[in-house]
Structure 1
Amino acid sequence: MEPLQALARVADRAEAWRRLAWPERAALLRACSRSAARRIRVWAEVSCRLKGADPASRWLGEEALLGPAITLRHLRLYAATLAAGPGTPRAAAAREAAPGQLALPVFPGDRWDGWLHPGVRAEVWLAPAAAPARRSGGPGGVAAVLGAGNVSSIPPLDALHQLLYEDRVAVVKLNPLMAPLAPVFAAALAPLVERGFLAFVAGGAEEGAALLGDERVDAVHLTGSHRTFDAIVWGAGEEGERRRAAGEPLLRKPVTAELGCVSPLLVVPERWDRADLRQQAFAVAGMVVNNGSFNCNAPKLILTSRHWPQRQAFLRELRAALAAAPPRPAWYPGAAERWARFAERYPQAESWGEAGAGELPWLLVPEVPAEPGQPALSEEAFCGVVAECPLDAAGSEEFLDQAVRFANDHVWGSLSCTILAAPTTPRPALERALAGLRYGGVAVNAWAALLFALGQTTWGAFPGEPPEDIRSGRGHVHNTGLLAQPQKSVLRAPFRPPLRPLWDPRHRFLRAAGLRLARFEARPSPARLLSLAAAAVLG
C-alpha cells in the first residue's frame, strides 16, 4: 500500500481508536502477541539477512532478542497495564530520589522479572514536583512515524507508544534498510493493522516528505540521527540554517525523536580482583560489539581515572575481549567512512579482530585527551569504535563528581549512560552521581540498553534539549506503565551477576537463548522459564 493510501485509511479510524476503551485495547494487544509469536523465527531470519548475517548462525539469537523478544515483552506489559485500568501506579512505593523529586519502582514488576534478571532493580524518576499518575487520554489524531534502520523492535514499539500513550493512530514509514520486514510487521500486528489503526509502509525520502507534509498528519516521531531531525524540522542547506537561526521551522507540527549519543561508560576506580577485571571487560566489549555496534546505546566513551592503579590491567582485558569478538558485517551505511575518520584522527587507535570482506575490525582509541571538542567526545561513531578518556581524578568520590560534570557538559548527547561500580564504591557519591547525570537512562553495573528492553522503564533523551540544538531528541518512548511526566529511568544490578549477560561475546548458547526468550515473552510459563534458564546457565 502506498503511504498516502495507508494514511487515508488510518486517518479515518482515529476517532474510533480514541473511543476504544482500555480493556478492548488490551484484548487487541493480546491478539497481536499471539500473532507475533507465530512469526518469531521468520522475523529473526529476515533481520539476519538484511544485516548480512547467516540465519543458521548464532546471530539468529541476537536478532530474536533485538526484534520479537523485546516487542512481545512490550505487548504483554502494555496489555497488563490496560487491563488493570488507569489507577494510581504503586504510589505508596515511591521514594524521594532528590529534593522535590519522586522515583517510582517499576522493575521487577511481576513474578517472572526476578527470575529473568536476578538482582536487577529499576525506577522511573518523575519530573520534579510531579506526583505518580498514569497518563489517561493523549492528544489523539494521526502520527507519522519514521522508523529506525538498525534495530527491528524500534518501528513497532514507536507505533505502540503513539497508539497507547498519545492516543494516536499511526502510519510507520520504514527505513529502506528495514523494508524487507514490512510484511512481517504487518502480520505480527495484524489485529491493529486489519482494523485500520496502524499501517507499515516502505519508501524513501520523497515518500517520507509527502507523508509528513500531509495535513492529516498531526504529529511526527522519528528514530534516527540529529541530521535527519534538522532536515525535517528546519529544512536542508543554507535555507535550513537560516530557518534554524531565526526559529522558523519548516515543519510546524509537534516532533518527538529518539536520536543518537556519544554514550559514556564510567568506570569507578575501586579495587577489583582479577576475575572482576576480566568479567567487566568482556561485558563492556559485549556492549560495544552487539549488533555490530550499530546501537545508539553502545558505549562510545569509557571514562576512567588516570590514577586508578588497575586502569592498564582493565584496558589489557578489554583488548583481549575485543580481539575475541568476531568482526561483523559493516552493513549500516557510512560505517566504513566513520571508522576511517576516527582511525585517521587518532594515531594511537588500535584495531582488534581479523576482518574479512565487508567487515570492520573493532577500533579502540585509548588516551583521548579530556578536552572539549575532541571528536571522540562530540561525534557519535555509530560503528565499531570505542574510545577511552582518563580523567585527572583520584579516588572514587572525586572521580564520580568530576565524571558527572564532564559527561553532562562535554560529552555529546543525553540518551543513556552506564556506570561500573564495585560494592566498595561510596554509596553517597554514587547516589549523588545518579541524581546529577543528565541522561534519560542511567544503569549501574548493567548495560543501559536494558532500559530500552525492559518496557517498564522509559527510553529517550533527558528533557530539555532545544530543537535548535537537538542532540539525543525530545520526548520518550516505551514506558509500558503509561506513567505521566517521567524524567529519566535508573537501573541497578549486581557488580558480579549470577549469569553471563546475553551480550557477552563468550556466550555459547545465544541462538537458543534468544529464541527461547522470545517464546517466553509471548506466553510466560514455568516450563518456558526452565528451558530459557538452561540456555542462560550453560552460556
Structure 2
Amino acid sequence: MLGAGNYSSAVEMVSALFLENCAVVHKPHPLNKATDLIWEKVFEPLVEYQALSFCDPDSGTSLTTDKRVSKIYFTGGASTAKKIAENTDIPIVSECGGNNPFFIVPPDRDWTADEIHHQSMVIATMIKFNGGAVCGRPQTFVTSKHWKQRREFLDALKNALVNETPATPSYYPNSTKVFEEFKNAYPDAEVLQCVEDKDNRKSDILFIEDIAQDSYAVTHEAFTLVVDEVALDVPATIKEYLPIAVKFANKKLLGTLTCCIIIDDDTLKNNKALVDASITFLQYGAIGVNTMPPFMFLNPYLTWGGNEEGKDIVSGHGNFGNLLNYQNVEKSISFSDFTSAGHMKSVNTDAWFKLSKNYAEYTANPKFVNLVPMAMSLMKNNIKKKNF
C-alpha cells in the first residue's frame, strides 16, 4: 500500500484487509510519515495480529519488487505508477488524478442571482480545498461561449475566490513551479489575490478564461490553485451544448478520474434522457451531477478511480471504495439538487472546522446520535458570516 501525499486515509487499508482478505504493508508518502503513527495506533489489534504493518517512506522499491506481494495499491502521479508497472509483474490498483471538467450546462431558464452565488461559493470551496492539492478538484470549466449569463457566472466565481472564501495556501511539492508553468503558458491570465492573505503568493489563484481546446491547460493537471475555462462555440442550449462538451472532454482533456455536471433542476427534469445518455458516454470513473466529486471519494459505497481499463495509465487502473464489492464497476454516479442545503461552503473557518470534526465523528460511527450534530453544524456552516 503506497500512500498518497495530499491526504492520509485508511480507505485503501480497510479495502485490502476486509474486502480482499489480504495482509497489508503500508508505506506512507514522506509528507505523511507522522500520520502513519496515528493509523498504527488506531489499527493496533490488526498490527498485533500481524495482518497489518507499517514501514518507512523510502521502502517503495523493496516493497514493489518483493515476491511475497500479490497486489499493489498506489496513489500518486501517473509517471510513478508507470515506473512501478514497468518493474514488476504484480497487479496494480492506481489512482493518479487528471484534469477534471465541470460542465456548466446552459439552462432552459435564467439562473437567479442566488443560484449563481450558491454555485460560485460551492465551487470556490472545492477549488481552494487543501490548497488545490485534491485529485477530484475542478480544473476546467466547460461553458457555452454564447450563454448570456456566462460573464455573470465567471465574475461571481472570481468574487467568491477573492472575497468570500478563506485563503488556503498551496503547500504540495512543486506547486509554485506548476503555477508558474501555467502562468507562462497564459501570460494574460488573471492572478486572483485573496483578501485574507494578499501578501502570500501561495494563496494566489490563476484564473484562465476562454482557452483553446488544444492548449496547455487542457492536457496538463494543475493539482494546485489553477483553474481554466474552455468556452465552446456552440449555441447556449443543452441539446446543442452537452453532446459536444462530452465529446470534447472524452477526446481532449487529460485523464478519466472524475467530472461534474452543473445543471439546474428544471433543465435536468426537461432533459433527463439527454443527461442520462451523456453520463453513459462520459469516460470518467466518478460523475457528479451537482455533486462535488471529492465527496464521492468520501462515500465508501461508491468507487473512486479512473475509467481506462486496457489503456495507458493516466488517471489509474482499478478503483478504491466499493464497500458492497460490486464486480466490473465502470463508474459511480451521484446526483444532488442544484442548490442543496447539503452543499458545503467554506465561509466561516470556525464553523468549517466544527463541521469537519462532526463529519469525521459521524463517518467513524454513523448513528443518529452523531448525525444530529453533523446536520446542525452543516446548517450553521452555511448561514454563518465570514470571519476573516
Instruction: Say yes or no: TM over 0.5.
Output: yes
Matched, 1:385 2:223: no
Q: Contact conserved, 1:465 with 1:473, CA < 8 A, in 2? A: no
**Max radius of gyration: which structure?**
1
Question: Cα offset for 1:230?
Answer: 1.9
Equivalent residue runs for 1:54-453 within 5 Å: 145-153=1-9, 156-204=10-58, 207-234=59-86, 250-270=87-107, 271-324=110-163, 325-352=165-192, 353=194, 354-357=197-200, 359-370=202-213, 372=214, 374-394=215-235, 395-425=237-267, 426-453=271-298
Q: In structure 2, what is the equivalent of residue 462 of structure 1?
A: 307
The match for 1:482 among 318, 321, 325 is: 325
Supply the distance in 1 between the matched residues of 2:116 and 2:169 (Cα, whole angstroms).
Answer: 29
> What runs of 5+ residues in structure 1 fail to find an aligned partner?
1-144, 235-249
**Aligned to 2:370, what secondary structure does the other structure show?**
helix
Provide Cα deviations, 1:294-313, integer angstroms capped at 9, x if missing partner: 00100110000011000000
Equivalent AA in structure 2 for residue 323 of structure 1: V
Question: Cα offset for 1:345?
Answer: 0.8
Question: In 2 relative to 1, CA 263–166 (structure 1 residues): closer, same or farther, beyond 3 Å?
Answer: same
Question: In 2 relative to 1, CA 263–465 (structure 1 residues): closer, same or farther, beyond 3 Å?
Answer: farther
Equivalent AA in structure 1 for residue 8 of structure 2: S
> What runs of 5+ residues in structure 2 fail to find an aligned partner?
382-388
Q: In structure 2, what is the equivalent of residue 26 of structure 1?
A: none
Question: What number of residue pairs does the alignment pair up?
Answer: 371
Q: Contact conserved, 2:133 with 2:172, CA < 8 A, in 1? A: yes
Q: Contact conserved, 1:173 with 1:200, CA < 8 A, in 2? A: yes
Equivalent AA in structure 2 for residue 295 of structure 1: V
Q: Contact conserved, 1:455 with 1:479, CA < 8 A, in 2? A: yes
Question: Cα offset for 1:531?
Answer: 2.0
Supply the distance in 1 between the matched residues of 2:304 and 2:345 (Cα, whole angstroms).
Answer: 19
Question: Cα offset for 1:347?
Answer: 2.0
Q: Contact conserved, 1:285 with 1:505, CA < 8 A, in 2? A: no
Q: In structure 2, what is the equivalent of residue 6 of structure 1?
A: none
Question: Cα offset for 1:376?
Answer: 0.9
Q: Percent identity?
A: 29
**TM, length-normalised to structure 2:** 0.92
Higher relative contact order (CA 8 A, sep 6+): 1
Supply the distance in 2 between the matched residues of 1:160 and 1:440 (Cα, whole angstroms).
Answer: 21
Question: In 2 relative to 1, CA 213–524 (structure 1 residues): closer, same or farther, beyond 3 Å?
Answer: closer
Supply the distance in 2 between the matched residues of 1:152 and 1:475 (Cα, whole angstroms).
Answer: 20
Equivalent AA in structure 2 for residue 413 of structure 1: G
Supply the distance in 1 between the matched residues of 2:32 and 2:299 (Cα, whole angstroms).
Answer: 23
Q: In structure 2, what is the equivalent of residue 71 of structure 1?
A: none
Q: Contact conserved, 2:286 with 2:293, CA < 8 A, in 1? A: yes
Supply the distance in 2 between the matched residues of 1:266 and 1:524 (Cα, whole angstroms).
Answer: 33
**Aligned to 2:259, what secondary structure does the other structure show?**
strand
Question: Cα offset for 1:483?
Answer: 1.4
Supply the distance in 2 between the matched residues of 1:381 and 1:516 (Cα, whole angstroms).
Answer: 31
**TM, length-normalised to structure 1:** 0.67
Q: In structure 1, what is the equivalent of residue 361 of structure 2?
A: 519
Supply the distance in 1 between the matched residues of 2:158 and 2:345 (Cα, whole angstroms).
Answer: 17
Equivalent AA in structure 1 for residue 353 of structure 2: R
The match for 1:471 among 314, 329, 332 is: 314
Provide Cα deviations, 1:478-507, integer angstroms capped at 9, x if missing partner: 1111112211101100001124x3344457
Q: Contact conserved, 2:309 with 2:318, CA < 8 A, in 1? A: no
Provide Cα deviations, 1:133-155, integer angstroms capped at 9, x if missing partner: xxxxxxxxxxxx110010112xx
Instruction: State the Cα RMSD in Å.
Output: 1.6
